[in-house]
Amino acid sequence: MPGPVVILGLGYTTQRLARRLLEKRVPVYAGVRDLDRYSELRNLGAKIRPLSPEELPKNAAVVHSIPSLPEPEKSAIRNLIRAMTPERIVYISSTGVYGGATEVDEETPDAPVDEKGRARVDEERWIERRENPWSSLILRTAAIYGPGRGIHLRLREGRLKDGDLPRGAGGIVSRIHVDDLVTHLEAAIDSQLYGAWPVADECPASSEEVALWCAREMKLKAPEFPPAGIHGSGRRVDGSKVREVLGIALKYPSYRTGIAASIREEERELSRPRPQPAS
């Protein structure tokens, strides 16, 4: 693992990545806009810095997770990256760049159909330009779930009610547990692999199927779903090739094992003693 690792943007996935790297004693810097939001990571040893080349180390590995931005913010982030002269960039993209494709693997070309997808592809292509001095890898991730995120949480909190799942809820969706995505990112930082690769688990399923499974497991009432016949076709994503090339395996190949683990982690977090305020 090269060190240090610079994370641009601390979101749901990259905060998990930062914790894992810190556990392995990898120096972690994070460029963020709001310095006051990440006291827990700072206490663990992460160096939280403004998005400035003077504040972030040069010649590092960079995990780029900042969503696509309009101008002038987009150019500002690109100028920051150039000034950092990274050795390697791993960019977290999305399977949304495949547009209407219903079967996706490493050979599927990007074909975005909306502005968000086009902006993602634009950022990918900027990162991959031949004249850039860094190596790069693009991970196009399926829907990310895990502790504190996903259908199971919406169901438990009463935020998934009759009719809440939109049209197309019966369409197939590929997913990835956040910890498995972190494993991809760790391996990507260390590798010399290049190109753009889809990332997903081995069990694509409809949101309806997942919600019904969660309701049974959690002993909760299942919501009603849109009637049959208006479901979308969805998208099945095969992410096996990038795992093979990176030499990694899924810890949670199915939403069943992944959601069960997420629930257990949430329960442990709820039972963890909290520091009492001083009297």
Mean pLDDT by 10 residues, the chain (279 residues): 87 98 97 92 96 95 94 96 97 96 97 95 96 97 97 90 56 95 98 98 93 94 69 84 98 98 93 62
- Per-residue pLDDT at 234: 84
If one counts every other C-beta atom within 10 angstroms of the C-beta of residue 103, the result is: 12
Look up residue 89 and give its two tokens.
Answer: 């960039």
- Per-residue pLDDT at 168: 47
- Per-residue pLDDT at 159: 85
3-state class (DSSP) for residue 189: helix
Cis peptide bond N-terminal to 273, omega within 30: no
**For residues 226 and 167, is the Cβ–Cβ distance under 8 A?**
yes
Rounded Cα distance between 236 and 270, Å, is: 34
**For residues 218 and 155, is the Cβ–Cβ distance under 8 A?**
yes
Look up residue 253 and give its two tokens.
Answer: 């190949």
Amino acid identity of residue 190, one-letter, is: D
- Per-residue pLDDT at 217: 94
- Per-residue pLDDT at 28: 98
3-state class (DSSP) for residue 100: coil
- Per-residue pLDDT at 189: 97
Rounded Cα distance between 179 and 146, Å, is: 8
